[in-house]
Amino acid sequence: MDSQGFEFSEARGREAASALGLPVLVPSTALFTDRYELTMLQAALRSGAAHRRSVFEVFTRRLPEGRRYGVVGGTGRVLDAVENFRFDDAVLSFLSTEHIVDDETLAWLDGYRFSGDIHGYPEGEVYFPGSPVVRVEGTFAEAVLLETVILSILNHDSAIAAAASRMAVAAGDRPLMEMGARRTHELAAVAASRAAYIGGFSSTSNLAAGFRYGIPTIGTSAHAFTLVHDSERDAFKAQVVSLGSGTTLLVDTYDLSEAVRTAVEVAGPELGAVRIDSGDLVLLAHRVRQQLDELGATNTKIVVTSDLDEYAMASLASAPVGAYGVGTALVTGSGHPTCSMVYKLVARARSTDPDAPLEPVAKKSLGPKTSLGGRKWAARRRDEHGVAEAEVIGTGPVPPELADQQLLVPLVVGGGTAGREPLDAARRRHVEARGALPLSATMLSKGEPVIPTEVV
Amino acid sequence: MDSQGFEFSEARGREAASALGLPVLVPSTALFTDRYELTMLQAALRSGAAHRRSVFEVFTRRLPEGRRYGVVGGTGRVLDAVENFRFDDAVLSFLSTEHIVDDETLAWLDGYRFSGDIHGYPEGEVYFPGSPVVRVEGTFAEAVLLETVILSILNHDSAIAAAASRMAVAAGDRPLMEMGARRTHELAAVAASRAAYIGGFSSTSNLAAGFRYGIPTIGTSAHAFTLVHDSERDAFKAQVVSLGSGTTLLVDTYDLSEAVRTAVEVAGPELGAVRIDSGDLVLLAHRVRQQLDELGATNTKIVVTSDLDEYAMASLASAPVGAYGVGTALVTGSGHPTCSMVYKLVARARSTDPDAPLEPVAKKSLGPKTSLGGRKWAARRRDEHGVAEAEVIGTGPVPPELADQQLLVPLVVGGGTAGREPLDAARRRHVEARGALPLSATMLSKGEPVIPTEVV
């Protein structure tokens, strides 16, 4: 091990940066792990059970209260995390110094690379209670280690994607701008931008999200910019000189109607947009639209950005608004900042023989935490018009009529990444998947899952 | 710039790793920034206002609904972020290629290091509506850039610290174990462990938090470990052989009372603890305690871990429970996953002369988004018994009787970090600060801020 306790080669840094980047280099995702995964590994290596072929599944027992569908977010980031999940010298040194696992376990971890298979719902797909969103197959040892990092990513990103999807429905054709970085952890914010884009947002204020994922970035000015100048007019002039008349001027620092007048005087009727960040947005949007039209700025758009959520956007549907900027409500999942996905052992062999048959297993205690054992397939049954009727999951053979409606796709095969795709593919998939649900799926009011989950 | 578009030297990687580490190397925090900060910078460089001396303050207009006090979390991470906020070649190349700012601005950013002063409430301190939690002073250009990253960190970490503090009150003397990594973004989880520790948690399941911050880690086994073995007895034996009889056995996979009997048979009466993760915890804790006592395992503790929050812990106060493991409720801020801290320009000079006097500025629009201009001090007035009476903030001279009760401390002086401290200092400070509040501060029921904020 490195004498400084931290080994990090430049070449490896670049490689990891390109995979898990952000502006952040991640030498390994192996410590995004709960300690019990390693202590289980140690005990299972001793008992021999570590080498039994095993199947873990990620699913949720329920959707967040009132939600009619879930949205799979984070699959692409799971692939990054699995690729980078390895125990380098710095990590091993920590585990050794802290006596977290014994030497036999450290030696096993030293060579760790996941070599099994992962199937899952493709990113952007919708899901329901019981949907096997991800299925991980390998030895118990190699699969048990991935629990925490897979759940962290899916529970966070799917919560944001679901909120984004509801907002996209409420926004209709109007563009949605993600502006929530300041309301969540600085790196969660980058993942949130990504999930929002999948759910239907079109841009982000977050430069790291632009850097890492190529999401279009937007943004012009804040109240501070107006306040640092001697007058609003000076500020608007400075902005228009520097950014052009297509810019968006923030008009609610002092008096709104005076600001709108000044804005059009300074930028001319070709002013791109004005932004309103406070007050009764419905009322103000109508007033400002009328004023802009009277000033001849008929093509100048109105952008609104004040603590919006899907309900506020729905109430603005008939207001003359050109685009929405959304922050807090998006990055906190609009009331549901996490999903309740769990990672459960559902089947395992009774011996370490690689050909030993899998046997279903499940926690048996009474109550809501009981789960369904067995390695599962999933399909979405549709009616004659192509509208989804039921989420069907089972452990036996797939019924022939559902064979071509299966939901699980290969993500990792024999340890190699198989399911990589551009972010736009997930974004398009989500529109299609949501569009194939019954119409009541997109009601904003609280409801039950829009299709039932059937176990066959 | 580097031909590969990503410049990263090994030495710089190590340096950044030690500062902002995790297992993650962060070459720069400069992209944790909303695009508008850079476009404002560009326009202000053009107008000249960029070079005006400016004061920004972080504060919140209200506490989350029903909360009686807030807890400052993230200050130490803000110091890391400011130290690492610089525009390296990769970042500049991105900004240039994407036409986010012009060449003059790029040149200015190339040499950027924050050279101003930052004061703030020390970490772990409590705060109230209007408290100037952080005050950033420098030129407009250098201070405006820090908005997003400072808010991201404080809004996230303070939300978690506040939830942790309420849980610590509810838990009383019983240890609190943080187990929420799987319910939040994988790096937010590390910050959450840190904030939870400050708020009163004693350990974490999160290995990255142990690695990065030295927080004690805990964890033994999940249901999967029991299920991968042929019987619960085999699993318990394997765990005790490997981890010793002081381990914690999970006893709710099949039949609880059979599991407790097996656990004591396998580990002997010196069994460390049993963990219950489902069911009616009050009822089950009493039953299991009685059974353990009858089996002679009178020192074996009971650990409970099923979707706990501060209310569930309060209801378990009289149950024979030794420790609590908390996940979802902690990392989602127990109903309030973010704070509403904002970063506002409150004063600036009217010229670029470094000796020009500061003038207060504030947004003037009507409604709740109006704020108080001027560079502020803050103090907590106490009664003769040392109990806090009021949060006093002002822009003029500090009244002599409050001079030694001021809350803002130097964090960065002339660009150099001044406020670094061990995590335990913040943890101890929080206990003291909370203890000096009126008794009703620690009621779990909804209420108003426990002391008023007075503006003088």
- Per-residue pLDDT tens digits for A419-449: 899 999 999 999 999 999 999 999 999 999 9
Residue A382 has phi, psi (to 5 degrees) of -120, 155
- With respect to residue A5, please indicate whether it lies within any of the assigned structural domains: no
Residues A324 and A348 in one domain: no
Degrees to nearest 5, angle at CA B83 with B77 and B87 = 120
Instruction: Give the pLDDT band (50/70/90) at residue B256.
Output: very high
Instruction: Determine the pLDDT at residue B92.
Output: 93
Distance CA B282, CA B317 (A): 9
Q: CA-based diameter of chain A, in Å?
A: 80
CB of A131 closer than 8 Å to CB of A121: yes
Together in a domain, B329 and B340: no
A367-376, B20-29, B218-227: least confidently modelled range: B20-29
Report if residue A3 sits inside a domain.
no
Domain boundary among B304, B335, B366: B335
Say which residues have a Cβ less than 8 Å from residue B274's Cβ, sequence separation at least 6. B248, B249, B250, B251, B259, B260, B263, B288, B292, B300, B301, B302, B303
The full DSSP string for B336-375 is: --S--EEEEEEEEESSS-TTSPEEE-----SSTT----S-
Q: What angle separates helix B188-199 from helix B423-435, to the nearest 10 degrees?
A: 50
Q: How confident is the model at residue A26 (pLDDT cuts 50, 70, 90)?
A: low
B349 token code pair: 């000079």
Pure H helices in A67-112: 75-83, 89-97, 103-110
* Interface test mutation site (partner A, options B4, B28, B32, max chain A beta carbons within 10 A): B32
User: Given pLDDT bands bounded at 50, 70 and 90, which one contains residue B367?
Assistant: low
| Residue at B5 is within a domain | no
Which CATH number goes with the domain that contains A78? Answer: 3.20.140.10
Arithmetic mean of pLDDT, B145-165: 98
Do A94 and A199 lie in one domain? The reply is no
Instruction: Give the residue from A280, A303, A333 where a domain finishes.
Output: A333
Does residue A24 surpass a pLDDT of 80? no
The domain spanning residue B263 has which CATH number? Answer: 3.20.20.70
According to the model, what pLDDT value does residue B168 have?
Answer: 98
For residue A97, give the DSSP letter: H
pLDDT in tens, A321-330: 999 999 999 9
Cα(B152)–Cα(A47) distance, rounded to whole angstroms? 45
The answer to the question of residue A297 being in a domain is: yes
Please check the confidence at residue B14 and state whether its pLDDT lies above 70: no
A225–B40 C-beta distance less than 8 A: yes
Integer CA distances (angstroms), A114 to A25, A142, A149, A415, in order: 21, 6, 13, 5
In a domain, A365, yes or no: yes
Q: Label residue B365 by pLDDT band (50, 70, 90).
A: low
Nearest C-alpha in A relative to B369: A278
Distance from CA of A405 to the nearest CA of B (A): 30
Inter-residue contact B252 to B285 (CB < 8 Å):
no
**Average pLDDT, integer, range B39-59:** 98
Q: What is the pLDDT of residue A371?
A: 72
Contact B181 A98 (CB under 8 A): no
A224/B26 touch (CB, cutoff 8 Å), yes or no: no
Looking at residue B371, its pLDDT comes to 72
Cα separation, A447 vs A431, in Å, equals: 20
Mean pLDDT of chain B: 92
Provide, as residue numbers in chain A, all residues whose Cβ is less than 8 Å from the Cβ of B228.
44, 49, 52, 54, 140, 345, 348, 361
* Predicted local distance difference test score (pLDDT) of residue B11: 34
Domain identity same for B292 and B370: no
- On whether both B331 and B345 belong to a single domain, the answer is no
Q: How would you class A307 by CB atoms within 10 Å of its CB: exposed for 0-12, middle for 13-18, buried for 19 or more?
A: middle
Q: pLDDT category, B25, cuts 50, 70, 90? A: low
In a domain, A2, yes or no: no
The domain boundary residue, chosen from B279, B313, B335: B335
Residue A378 C-alpha, separation from nearest chain B C-alpha, in angstroms: 22
- Among A20, A65, A153, A225, the strongest candidate for a mutation testing the B interface, having the largest count of B CBs within 10 A, is A225
Mean pLDDT of B55-77: 97
Average pLDDT on A223-237 reads 98
Interatomic CA distance for residues A43 and B302, integer angstroms: 21
- Residue A222 to residue B40, Cβ atoms within 8 A: yes
Contacts of B179 in chain A (CB under 8 A): 34
CA angle B442, B326, A101 (to 5 degrees): 135
- The residues, ordered by sequence, that sit 6+ positions from A222 with a Cβ below 8 Å of its Cβ are A250, B36, B37, B40, B144, B147
* Across A255-272, average pLDDT: 98
The yes-or-no verdict on residue B19 having pLDDT over 70 is no
Task: State the total domains in chain A.
Answer: 2
Indicate if A82 and A101 belong to the same structural domain.
yes
Residue A123, pLDDT > 50, answer yes
Q: What is the pLDDT of residues B401-445, one digit of tens each?
A: 999 999 999 999 999 999 899 999 999 999 999 999 999 999 999
Asked if B183 and B327 sit in the same domain, the reply is yes
Q: Provide the 3-class DSSP secondary structure of residue A218.
A: coil
Q: Which 3 state secondary structure label does DSSP give A425?
A: helix
Together in a domain, B314 and B446 = no
Are A114 and A52 members of one domain? Answer: yes
Considering the domain architecture, whether residues A68 and A204 belong to the same structural domain is answered as no
Gap between the Cα atoms of B30 and A193, Å rounded: 17
d(CA B360, CA B376): 10
Instruction: Please report the sign of the dihedral spanned by the C-alpha atoms of residue B400, residue B403, residue B407, residue B411.
Output: positive
Indicate the SS3 state at residue A302: strand
B166 to chain A, closest Cα gap in Å = 19
Identity of the residue in B221, B223, B241 whose CB atom sits nearest the CB atom of A46: B241
What SS3 class is residue B304?
A: strand
Tell me what the mean pLDDT of segment A151-166 comes to: 98
Length of chain B: 456
Same domain, B251 and B324: yes
pTM: 0.95
Structural domain including B295 reads 175-335
Same structural domain, A36 and A112: yes
Give domain status of residue A176, yes or no.
yes
Instruction: Enumerate the residues of chain B whose CB falls inside 8 A of the CB of residue A32.
Output: 23, 181, 186-187, 189-190, 206-208
Q: Does residue A166 belong to any structural domain of this protein?
A: no
Q: How confident is the model at residue B105 (pLDDT cuts 50, 70, 90)?
A: very high
Over residues A167-194, the mean pLDDT reads 97
B7 pLDDT band, cuts 50/70/90, is very low
